[in-house]
Structure 1
C-alpha cells in the first residue's frame, strides 16, 4: 500500500511539473530518480544506482546507459531515459545494444511518464523487441501496481520476474489482438466462426455478410456479459437491503413501548420545551432502552430511559456523549435532572 501511495504521489508531481521540465537531464532528476527511489534503491549510493554506466560494444567505446541498478555487485536493471516529450518508439534500438553488452536480464526505457520493461524471453542475452510490462505513471491500474512491486529491492527475484514476464507479455499481445478484432474483425477471424456455422461456400459476399454478423455477435456477447454481472451485483445488493429491512422490521416487532416510557418522554418534553420547539424532541424506542433525541438524530441523544428492569434509570448524556445512569424512585424524579437535560441541549446548539 505504501508503494502504491508513493507512485500516486509521483504521478501527481509529474502532471503538475511536466510543462516546466525542458531537458532530458531535468526529466531524470524530477521524474526517473524518484521512481528508482520508490523501488527502494539508494540513488545516492553508486554501488546500488550507477549513473552513466559504461556499456561498450566491440570496437565501439564510450557507450553509456543512463543508470544501472546493482544487486550483490551485478547489474540487475539498466535504465535509459529520455525527455518526457519524446516518443520512446525510436529509442529502443539504443537500449537493445546496451542490453547485449551487460549481464542484466532486465532493461527499462522511460521518459518519466511512460515506462517500458524488457527482458530476453525469445533469445538469451538478446533484448526482446516488445516490452513485457508497459504503463504510464499517471494511468496506473491495480494490476500494474502488483507488477511494479516485483521490482522493489525487498522483493526482487530474477527467476520469478522472468517466469511472470512471459505471461505478461503474451497476455498483453493477445488482449491487443482481441481489441483489434473488436474494432474490425479480420478475414481469418471471420472464417473461424463462419466455417463452424455455415456449410456453404464462403464467397466474397458471404464473408462480407459474416463480417458484420461476427462484429455484432461479439459486441452483443460482451454487452450481455457486462449486463449479467451488473444485474448480479444489483440483485445481491437488493437482497442485502431486503435482509436489512426485514431485520429492522423484526427488531421493531419485538419493541413494546409502554405508557410509563411515554409518560417519561412527556416529562422530558415539559422540561426542554422552554428552550426547544416540541417538534425537535423525538423519541425512538429500542429493545434495550427508550431514546429521546434532538431532531430525530441518533448522533444527538438528549437522554435515555431504562425502564425494562426492576430498577428504573435515566441515562444522562455529557459533552463527550458518554451516558451516566441515575436511578429513579418515581417518574417525577426526572425533574431533579432539569439542569443536566438543559445542558445537553446546549452541547449541540452551541
Structure 2
C-alpha cells in the first residue's frame, strides 16, 4: 500500500472516531501517534520520538512540548497537541515559546485532525506567525499529500524542505510586489 492509500485509510478511521475523542490524551493516543507512525517514525523509540520534551525558557522551568522528533540527538520537529475538538488558533503562542528555545527547524500544532506546520522563514530561530503548510486529514488534496510526504522519516531532509519553502515564500513576496507595482503605476 502506498503512502497516499495509507493516508486515505487513516483519514477514514479518523472520521469514524473523531466524535469520541473527548480529551487531549485520547487525541494523542488515537490520532497523533498513529499519524506519526504512518509517517514512518517509531513513536515507541525515545531516541526518535520523545514525549514531554523539555523546552524550558527563561526563568520558567518545567515547560514541555508534547513530542519532539529527534535526529542525531537533536530535536528536528516539535509537536504540540490539543484535543480533537479544540480550535488551534489560540495555541500558537505556546508552540512559539517552545520553538525559540530549541534547535528545531519545524513545529507542528495539531488537534489530531488539522496539522499546522511552522518554520522560521521570516526570522531565524523565531517561529513564523503563519504556517507554511496546513493539512486537514479529513480533506487532503494531492498536493498536500505530496508536501506531507516530505516529512516522512525516509524522505525527511531539513535543507530540502527549508529551501523549497523559502523559495515559495520569496516567490509569493515577489508576486505581491509585482502586483503592488502594477496597482501603483496605474
Distance 1:38 1:168, change over 3 A: farther
The answer as to whether partners of 1:77 and 1:107 remain within 8 angstroms in 2 is yes
Residue matched to 2:164: 164
1:167 deviates by 3.9
The answer as to whether partners of 1:132 and 1:166 remain within 8 angstroms in 2 is no
Q: How does 1:117-156 map to 2 (within 5 A)?
A: 117-156=117-156
Output one character per residue of 1:187-207: Cα deviation in whole Å (capped at 9) or x when no partner. x98x93993xxxxxxxxxxxx
Distance 1:22 1:34, change over 3 A: same
Alpha carbon RMSD of aligned pairs, Å? 2.3
The answer as to whether partners of 2:68 and 2:75 remain within 8 angstroms in 1 is yes
1:171 deviates by 6.7
The answer as to whether partners of 2:118 and 2:128 remain within 8 angstroms in 1 is yes
1:174 deviates by 9.7
1:4 deviates by 1.0
The answer as to whether partners of 1:133 and 1:169 remain within 8 angstroms in 2 is no
Q: How does 1:233-244 map to 2 (within 5 A)?
A: none
More relative contact order in 1 or in 2 (CA 8 Å, sep 6+)? Answer: 2
Q: How does 1:68-107 map to 2 (within 5 A)?
A: 68-107=68-107
The answer as to whether partners of 1:133 and 1:165 remain within 8 angstroms in 2 is no
The answer as to whether partners of 1:65 and 1:79 remain within 8 angstroms in 2 is yes
Output one character per residue of 1:285-322: Cα deviation in whole Å (capped at 9) or x when no partner. xxxxxxxxxxxxxxxxxxxxxxxxxxxxxxxxxxxxxx
The answer as to whether partners of 2:77 and 2:107 remain within 8 angstroms in 1 is yes
Matched, 1:192 2:183: yes
Distance 1:194 1:120, change over 3 A: closer
Q: Secondary structure at the match of 1:148?
A: helix
1:74 deviates by 1.0
Structure 1 unaligned blocks of 5 or more: 178-187, 196-350
1:169 deviates by 4.7
The answer as to whether partners of 2:80 and 2:110 remain within 8 angstroms in 1 is yes
Residue matched to 2:50: 50
The answer as to whether partners of 1:118 and 1:127 remain within 8 angstroms in 2 is yes
**Normalising by the residue count of structure 2, what TM-score does the alignment of the two structures yield?**
0.91
**Normalising by the residue count of structure 1, what TM-score does the alignment of the two structures yield?**
0.49
Q: Secondary structure at the match of 1:153?
A: coil
The answer as to whether partners of 2:55 and 2:63 remain within 8 angstroms in 1 is yes
The answer as to whether partners of 2:49 and 2:68 remain within 8 angstroms in 1 is yes
The answer as to whether partners of 2:21 and 2:85 remain within 8 angstroms in 1 is no
The answer as to whether partners of 1:133 and 1:168 remain within 8 angstroms in 2 is no
Distance 1:171 1:20, change over 3 A: farther
C-alpha distance in structure 2 between counterparts of 1:145 and 1:81, whole Å: 21
Residue matched to 1:63: 63
Output one character per residue of 1:90-136: Cα deviation in whole Å (capped at 9) or x when no partner. 00000000001111100000001111101111111110111111111
